[in-house]
Structure 1
Amino acid sequence: MNSISSAGKASPNPSVEAIDKAMKQRIGEIRTGMPGEIISFDAGTCMATVKPSLQYHTADGDILDYPLIIGVPVFMPHAGNAQITYPVKVGDSCWIAFAERSLDEWLGKSDSDNHDPRQYDLTDAVCFVGMRKVQSISADNVEIINGPTSISLTPDQKINIVGDVNIKGNITCSGTSKMSGNITCDGDVIASGISLTDHTHGGVETGGGNTSGPQ
């Protein structure tokens, strides 16, 4: 609390000021989350070096740049044997989240808590790529975009693909297929049980007559 001087004005209490400064300093050391930028990325480990986009305000009023944070796990959706991955590039925007406790054991040192006392530390960060200040997206469709290649799923049951499609596996179609270009096939084509390459025709005769249908 403040004391009253002979002039009738409150004078700062050194003890209160020291406590207030210490509290601000401690609170300033608690990291929760902030935007950042990818400085480097290792696809083999899915780890990145990130640079926080904000600055650090000290209890003394100084404004400092945060250091680079190395060895930051980058989130990729994964469950069971299913996974979605995407290429992470230098300069990508991201959201950096900081863990309540040390992540050392979770990252592979052992399965037990190492009792490290640090909390909300810069070194215990994870990264979510894709956080942008401004971005334009479709208001209706679900889209996957990689450069000029895109897949768009519309709410009226349509899938629009821009780009070449390579399929390794079988295709089953229960509807009608329409092609506006040529069809090239290295194997046989079976239509109503009749082979395109091995079928025969009956009623063969010379002259301008027609054969019977394929069989």
Structure 2
Amino acid sequence: MMTSPISERLDEDEEFYRRMLAAFAADLRVATPGIIQEFDPATQTVTVQTAIREKIIDEQLVTHWFEIPLLLDVPIVIPRAGGFALTLPIVPGDECLVVFADRCIDAWFSSGGVQNQIESRRHELSDGFAIIGVWSQPRVLAGYASDAAQLRSDDGSVAITLGAGSIDIDAPIVRINGTPITP
């Protein structure tokens, strides 16, 4: 009785596991760039079109590209902590990064706090968070301040710059509201 050499048998196993992992990875969602289609300031959620098409090879080995359906009611991620938040005027066309949660977020999202999973899904399109502020190369900021912190408009015409030993405010109109303190 003749058997195949162990190296050939290992190659077969390796190919089996490679295909199994490839099939698993094909359905795994982790993160993808997206383009904001709509922003709801009341719920602070966005509708997102993913910016990368899916590649599917059919039974005849023909490649097809298709767009993932719109992601609806995606919670936004902005800097927020300690009772303060940095809000941004999110508009259609803004780019973002959608990160998909390990578990179903429905109960937590609607009720807050620690919740049980409603469904046992993982890395699903319906469990994404939109991280605002990611952008592609055609949208890089001109005049990026590499030596100071800035809160600025994309075109740089309005900016608050915190540099070494100075704070500069550049804007056509500057309003400061508050109650004057008298010594």
CA distance in structure 1 between the aligned counterparts of 2:47 and 2:175, rounded to whole angstroms:
34
Q: Which residue of 1 aligns with 2:129?
A: 126
Q: State TM-score, norm by structure 2.
A: 0.75
Structure-2 change in CA distance of 1:88 and 1:164 (3 Å): same
CA apart distance, 1:165: 1.9
Q: Deviations over 1:114-172 (max 9, x none)?
A: 35221111110000111112213211121112363221112232323323222221456
Instruction: Say what the alpha-carbon RMSD is for the aligned residues.
Output: 3.2
CA apart distance, 1:42: 0.4
CA distance in structure 2 between the aligned counterparts of 1:142 and 1:121, rounded to whole angstroms:
36
Q: Mean Cα displacement is larger for which, 110-119 or 67-76?
A: 110-119
Q: Which residue of 1 aligns with 2:68?
A: 66
Q: Which residue of 2 aligns with 1:157?
A: 166
Q: Which residue of 2 aligns with 1:114?
A: 117
CA distance in structure 2 between the aligned counterparts of 1:19 and 1:63, rounded to whole angstroms:
26
- Letter in structure 2 aligned against 1:36: G
Q: Which residue of 2 aligns with 1:145?
A: 152
Q: State TM-score, norm by structure 1.
A: 0.65
Which protein has the larger Cα radius of gyration, Structure 1 or Structure 2?
A: 1
CA distance in structure 2 between the aligned counterparts of 1:112 and 1:152, rounded to whole angstroms:
42
- Letter in structure 2 aligned against 1:117: S
Runs of 5+ consecutive residues of structure 1 not aligned to the other structure: 5-12, 173-215
Which structure would you say has the larger RCO, counting Cα contacts within 8 Å and 6 or more residues apart? 2
- Asked whether the equivalents of residues 106 and 118 of structure 2 are also in contact (C-alpha less than 8 Å), the reply is no
Task: Compare the two structures and name the one with the higher helix fraction.
Answer: 2
Structure-2 change in CA distance of 1:40 and 1:103 (3 Å): same
SS for the counterpart of 1:106 is helix
Q: How does 1:33-52 map to 2 (within 5 A)?
A: 33-52=31-50
Count of residue pairs the alignment pairs up: 166
Runs of 5+ consecutive residues of structure 2 not aligned to the other structure: 5-11
- Asked whether the equivalents of residues 103 and 117 of structure 2 are also in contact (C-alpha less than 8 Å), the reply is no
Q: Which residue of 2 aligns with 1:78?
A: 80
- Asked whether the equivalents of residues 35 and 95 of structure 2 are also in contact (C-alpha less than 8 Å), the reply is yes
CA distance in structure 2 between the aligned counterparts of 1:100 and 1:141, rounded to whole angstroms:
37
Q: Mean Cα displacement is larger for which, 130-139 or 96-105?
A: 130-139
- Letter in structure 2 aligned against 1:93: E
- Letter in structure 2 aligned against 1:168: N
Q: Deviations over 1:81-109 (max 9, x none)?
A: 21110100100011111100001111115
Among all aligned residue pairs of Structure 1 and Structure 2, give the percentage whose two residues are the same amino acid: 24
- Asked whether the equivalents of residues 28 and 58 of structure 1 are also in contact (C-alpha less than 8 Å), the reply is no
- Letter in structure 1 aligned against 2:127: D
Q: Which residue of 1 aligns with 2:9?
A: none
1:169 aligns with 2:175: no
Q: Mean Cα displacement is larger for which, 117-126 or 71-80?
A: 71-80
For 2:25, which of 16, 24, 27 is the aligned residue? 27
